Amino acid sequence: MNRRQFLQSSAVGLAVSAMGSSSMEFDKEKPRRVGLIGCGWYGKADLLRLVQVAPVEVVSLCDVDSQMLNNAADLVAVRQKSRKKPRLYGDYRQMLKEKDLDIVLVDTPDHWHALAMIEAVKSGADVWVQKPISVDVVEGQAMLAAARKYKRVVQVGTQRRSTPHIIEARDRIIREGKLGKIGLVEIYCYYHMRASGNPPAVNPPAYLNYEMWTGPAPMRPYNKLIHPRSWRAFMEYGNGIVGDMCIHMFDMTRWMLGLGWPSKIGSTGGIFIDKASIANISDTQTATFDYPDLRVVWQHRSWGHSADPKYPWGATFYGDQGTLKVSVYSYDYIPLEGGQAIHRDVTYELEQYPEDKTEKDLEKHVAPAIRWHMRNFLSAIDSRSKPVADIEEGYISTASCIMANDSMKLRREFAWDPARREVVGDEEANRLLRRNYRQPWTHPEPDKI
């Protein structure tokens, strides 16, 4: 074993110890029937990591894109032990009507998360749902209410909570007090990830049921940015870069520091550079999440240079005794005066899981985190306990990011009352907590679950 392998193995061992052995224990012989809703890029990434860690049988796949659906079925038949092809569906309601699934993964575009997750828990399944859990705040409240009413385990795909080197950073640096008093956390993304251009409106491809793809969202003329993968360019389907990238780093910060709801949320920004594109999400935005004696500040720019080329997407924790930088690739601890700096790289598991080397479009550095997140999910299912990224944690992080966008829209700061589930003294802001659904879809209500 070389030095790099030793350090990576040590990081994994520390992570397992930090998470607690009980949070990783599950019945490795128990058969579990699995269904996936949303067979695109991350749907396959999540599903195949689950196949790697547990003897599941993938019996159902659902997607409104028949090409994507059939390609996923072929891949699953090669990768799962039984070599069987799953049943295929174009409507998640038909899939869930069978009520024969133990686990359902919801990996659709964001505007479909709420309805699919709620129906999945109603069907009796435990659910993995991708982040952000919802497009509006009330959807998230309804999802939390459904999970609790039907007593289902729901794990949110905020897998920074299960990333070995990040768990180590939390325990070795923050929990051991190496930073001293932390007064500021900067979270950020400088990836040039915002889709651009002005593709013309065209007819949807024959293999895509665009009516069903749109679902409860507003109906836009179809163009090639919408499907697949570039739908985040449009606020109709998500919450822009804040809903995609900020939620990861904000959720990670809350988990590392043990934070709940921010007391105040504010945001400014807009489209400052790429004014010619059809995309309607911000290309420049700052958001603030205030806690007693602590401010968490988000910034994204989809243009220009990163503030630190080694940390283009991450978090920087500033304490009076030192600084900690954390990303999906590494962490760096820099003491204020003297002391030993610490650097740690991401843990890869390419030798243990050789499929990772050749799997198309897989983020190899994220695969171990998804596997640890899946193990924690399975353990929570067996013990009927809350997983590390329980739906309530996903609701807090998602809603906070949604309200940041709402704050930018209304050009004012919000004070949030979590007990009353409302923005304090701001009826206009409260109206933004629930979006309009396109008929015939009905918006879920937390008090009517």
CATH code of the domain containing 266 = 3.30.360.10
Contacts of 224 (CB under 8 A, 6+ apart): 199, 202, 230
DSSP state letter for 208: B
For the chain, how many structural domains are there in total? 2
Query: For residues 245 and 299, what is the distance between their CA atoms, to the nearest angstrom?
Result: 10
Both 77 and 173 in one domain: the answer is no
pLDDT at position 15 over 80:
no
Pair of tokens at residue 76:
């699953």
pLDDT at position 201 over 50:
yes
3-state secondary structure of 197: coil
Both 173 and 242 in one domain: the answer is yes
How does residue 1 score in pLDDT terms, banded at 50, 70 and 90?
A: very low
Contact 329, 187 (CB under 8 A): no
pLDDT value of residue 46: 98
User: Is the residue at 360 inside a domain?
Assistant: no
Pair of tokens at residue 440:
């015939």
User: Is the residue at 4 inside a domain?
Assistant: no
Span 99-128, pLDDT tens digits: 999 999 999 999 999 999 999 999 999 999
Both 135 and 243 in one domain: the answer is no
Both 167 and 100 in one domain: the answer is no
pLDDT value of residue 337: 87
Contact 133, 391 (CB under 8 A): yes
Both 168 and 156 in one domain: the answer is no
Mean model confidence pLDDT for the chain? 95
User: Is the residue at 150 inside a domain?
Assistant: yes
Span 222-276, pLDDT tens digits: 999 999 999 999 999 999 999 999 999 999 999 999 999 999 999 999 999 999 9
Both 134 and 262 in one domain: the answer is no
pLDDT value of residue 261: 98
User: Is the residue at 7 inside a domain?
Assistant: no
Both 254 and 299 in one domain: the answer is yes
H and E: helices and strands count for the chain: 14, 16
Could you give the angle at which helices 391-410 and 137-149 cross, rounded to 10 degrees? 170
Both 135 and 216 in one domain: the answer is no
Calculate the alpha carbon distances from 51 to 8, 23, 46, 146 in Å.
23, 19, 9, 27
Both 305 and 288 in one domain: the answer is yes
Both 293 and 420 in one domain: the answer is yes
User: Is the residue at 380 inside a domain?
Assistant: no
The mean pLDDT value for 31-53 works out to: 98
pLDDT at position 34 over 70:
yes
- Domain of 147: which CATH number? 3.40.50.720
Q: Which of 253, 247, 270 is nearest to 399 (CA)?
A: 247
Query: To which residue do tokens 């790289």 refer?
Result: 345
User: Is the residue at 307 inside a domain?
Assistant: yes
Both 136 and 282 in one domain: the answer is no
DSSP state letter for 243: I
User: Is the residue at 362 inside a domain?
Assistant: no
Contacts of 131 (CB under 8 A, 6+ apart): 156, 157, 158, 247, 248, 251, 394, 397, 398
CA atoms lying within 13 Å on the CB side of residue 181: 5
Per the structure, the complete domain to which residue 410 belongs is given by 163-198+208-347+391-448
